[in-house]
Structure 1
Amino acid sequence: MQQKNNYKKIEPASGAIIMAIGIFLIGTVNAFPVLDITFGKYLAIIVMIAWVVIYKSLSIQFFQKDFLIPFIKHPVKSFTIGTWIAGVSVLCNVFIKYFPDIILITQAMAILNTFLWLFFLVTCFYNFRKLYFENQQYPVHGVILLSTVGTQSIILLLNNVFFRFPTYFSEAIIILGFMFYLAGIVLISKRYVKQKNWSLANDWSNTNCIIHGALSITGLAIVTTNTFTPAFIAAFWVVVFLLLVVIEAIEILRAIVRIKKYGWNKGLFEYNVSQWSRNFTFGMFYTFSLVMHFNSFYPIPDMLFNFQTSFMAFWAWIVLSALIIQIGIFIKSRIETYSHVKGRKVTHYKAS
């Protein structure tokens, strides 16, 4: 963060931090009973404190003209509003799990978040139109799929915080989110097909993992609202699983290329807020699988059921390990920033 115009600037996508840690507490933590039962509430409080700090800065920044107008008009960056919406949705679900007694506060947050989503919808339609019908070339990447993430998080939030909405209403919102997904995938595909000489090391974005993550939250919305058929959701889960394998294989190859080109520190362990999207998508696929696995409305073939059982036991450790590594990278960046700032102050003091 840098001081400018009397307010501290913050990365607009910082809501992804709450998304990543929150989804772990909603889903994957169930695989680690000690973390859940003994430390769950304390971890939830830490997430809540982080949310207050991050969203206070985001709120102040949002109402600054020098930030808001250019941000809303940018047809790619504006989609990061989806992290704000999904962040609040995830936090509310954390509250439902660990602090059910504050349901009125949770419901109030859900209502405010729904109004923010309605504003986000307007910006999504506006900027999808710009991306499709204006000739300007923008570096489109997975961030535009936050249109899907934000939309599906709302239907999950409303159904969990209030009551089960009518099937047709839930289906309509889920389909809207999926339409956003298709629109985004077309744009991302066009970018990489048309752009010549793009490199895996520099042009493949961290946010491209949302290619499978946006489908995971769509699947979670489906199995939470009991919409669509068991056969559909079984096939859907397999598709998302295969996408996860393909996208993360590309990510592993990208990591190897970056390490060779930039070394371990800059190539792999240099902090960027977009890295949290990976943790969110990993945790979201686990949560989608978990809810589907134990939802009696969706009987699935024994072969798939047994595969999910084995896979989740393995994937839970991947989610936990990735989250610990990401928190370590974040702390490392804070220490390096503090040391750099302190070093500059000492140098300035000596020069004076």
Structure 2
Amino acid sequence: MMLLKGHYKKIEPASGAIIMACGIYLIGAVEAFPVLDVSYGKYLAFFLLVAWVIIYKDLSIQFFHRDFLIPFLQNPVNSFVIGTWIAGVSVLCNVFLKYFPEILLLTQAMAVFNTFLWFFFLANCFYNFKQLLFDHRNFPVHGAVLLSTVGTQSIIILLNNVFFQFPVYFSEAIIILGILFYLAGIALLFNRYIRHHNWTLADDWANTNCIIHGALSITGLAIVTTNTFTPMFATYFWLLVFGLLIIVEAVELVRAIKRIKQYGWEQGIFTYHVTQWSRNFTFGMFYTFTLIMQANPFYPVAEPLNNLQRTFLDYWAWVVLIAIIWEIAIFMKARVTALYQEKLIIHHTAQ
């Protein structure tokens, strides 16, 4: 493969998470706000397309540069963020299905391309899990390894939605593969945070660790989209994800308090990083999992759980909306600050 050399615009490899987070909101939680959905949904979907073109253009150019690609693929954890590229395209295609059904052929073409990208990602996942489980056991892992599950489950959801209902055994096989990736990732995280003690919650608990529940949420969405596994299994699975969401976000809350005490409000929680979008994605994904499970007659649930889910959706829709507005605000703040600093540097250089 010919690799490029020379100058290019650098972009965070995990920037696909921006499309994942905003897209999953337009697929799920936006329905709780009819004005946003009905009146502005198509405009928001178009803005998402523009953002996708800008981000993926830069990601594509960067990918084929030697000084980026080789170190990126050699890092056994960071290269898992290719999963955000795959899930980003999958989510965008589902947004197109909802708001622009008339461009189905284009959406299907994107789905086919995304599937080929997933095959490349699959080989990358197998190789990296081998590295981390056997060759580099003490490598500092974080929740990005669970993007193996996210990327895999997003593909089976995409194929079932964009083309047709695939045979149950095929969907089950892909979902089970995603679950195996999840178990391997959890084993690595367990080794990092339980067996090793030289880490602190404020500094070493990564934003991407919220994918601990997010990867299961997209697995649940894959199950209720493809009608695989039994209603009882889906019920217990939902309860498991709900429990993990509460536990992990409680840890995140304690972490936020510790960071504020240690670094102050600005550095503690108001500083932007691209990995923060993973939280928005996981919040939106659990909402969508619950919403589709509620809407699918193949998965009836007991009356008490049904009431819990309905009440939860009412409140969680606001959590998802506020979280995404918050993230967009600190993203814009970071961009304005960066542009201002660039102008200052140019001004001083000119003098």
Shorter-chain TM-score tier? over 0.9
1:26-37 residue pairs with structure 2 within 5 A?
26-37=27-38
For residue 233 of structure 1, what is the amino acid of its counterpart? A
Measured against aligned partners, the alpha-carbon deviations of 1:323-344 in whole angstroms (never above 9, x if no partner) come to 0000000000001001111111
1:246-325 residue pairs with structure 2 within 5 A?
246-325=247-326
Partners of 1:275 and 1:293 in 2: CA distance = 28
Q: Give the secondary-structure state (helix, strand or coil) at the position aligned to 2:40.
A: helix
Once the two structures are aligned, what percentage of the paired residues are identical? 66
Q: Does residue 137 of structure 2 align to residue 166 of structure 1? A: no
Partners of 2:235 and 2:195 in 1: CA distance = 34
TM normalised by structure 1 equals 0.97
**Residue in 2 that maps onto 1:70:** 71
Greater CA drift, 214-223 or 60-69: 60-69
Partners of 1:47 and 1:204 in 2: CA distance = 30
Measured against aligned partners, the alpha-carbon deviations of 1:180-233 in whole angstroms (never above 9, x if no partner) come to 000000000101123223110000000000000000000000000001000010
1:324-343 residue pairs with structure 2 within 5 A?
324-343=325-344
**Residue in 1 that maps onto 2:226:** 225
Displacement of 1:318:
0.1
Partners of 2:52 and 2:116 in 1: CA distance = 19
**Residue in 2 that maps onto 1:244:** 245
**Residue in 2 that maps onto 1:155:** 156
**Residue in 1 that maps onto 2:212:** 211
For residue 81 of structure 1, what is the amino acid of its counterpart? I
For residue 166 of structure 1, what is the amino acid of its counterpart? P
Partners of 1:102 and 1:241 in 2: CA distance = 36
Partners of 2:37 and 2:136 in 1: CA distance = 51
Q: Give the secondary-structure state (helix, strand or coil) at the position aligned to 2:271.
A: coil
Greater CA drift, 47-56 or 195-204: 195-204
Partners of 2:134 and 2:261 in 1: CA distance = 39
Q: Give the secondary-structure state (helix, strand or coil) at the position aligned to 1:7.
A: coil
Gapped regions of structure 1 (runs ≥ 5): none
For residue 100 of structure 2, what is the amino acid of its counterpart? F
Partners of 1:135 and 1:50 in 2: CA distance = 36
**Residue in 1 that maps onto 2:87:** 86
Partners of 2:116 and 2:73 in 1: CA distance = 16
For residue 261 of structure 2, what is the amino acid of its counterpart? K
Partners of 1:137 and 1:66 in 2: CA distance = 26
Measured against aligned partners, the alpha-carbon deviations of 1:122-177 in whole angstroms (never above 9, x if no partner) come to 00000000001114631101000000000000000000000000000000000000
Measured against aligned partners, the alpha-carbon deviations of 1:69-106 in whole angstroms (never above 9, x if no partner) come to 22112110010000000000000000000000000000
Measured against aligned partners, the alpha-carbon deviations of 1:252-303 in whole angstroms (never above 9, x if no partner) come to 0000000011111110010100000000000000000000011100111000
Partners of 1:328 and 1:51 in 2: CA distance = 19
Aligned residue pairs total 347
Displacement of 1:345:
1.4
Greater CA drift, 192-201 or 213-222: 192-201
Partners of 1:67 and 1:197 in 2: CA distance = 30
Partners of 2:162 and 2:315 in 1: CA distance = 31
Q: Give the secondary-structure state (helix, strand or coil) at the position aligned to 1:8.
A: coil
Partners of 1:214 and 1:197 in 2: CA distance = 26
TM normalised by structure 2 equals 0.98
**Residue in 2 that maps onto 1:41:** 42
Partners of 2:194 and 2:149 in 1: CA distance = 23
RMSD of aligned residue pairs (Cα, Å)? 0.9
For residue 302 of structure 2, what is the amino acid of its counterpart? P
**Residue in 2 that maps onto 1:12:** 13
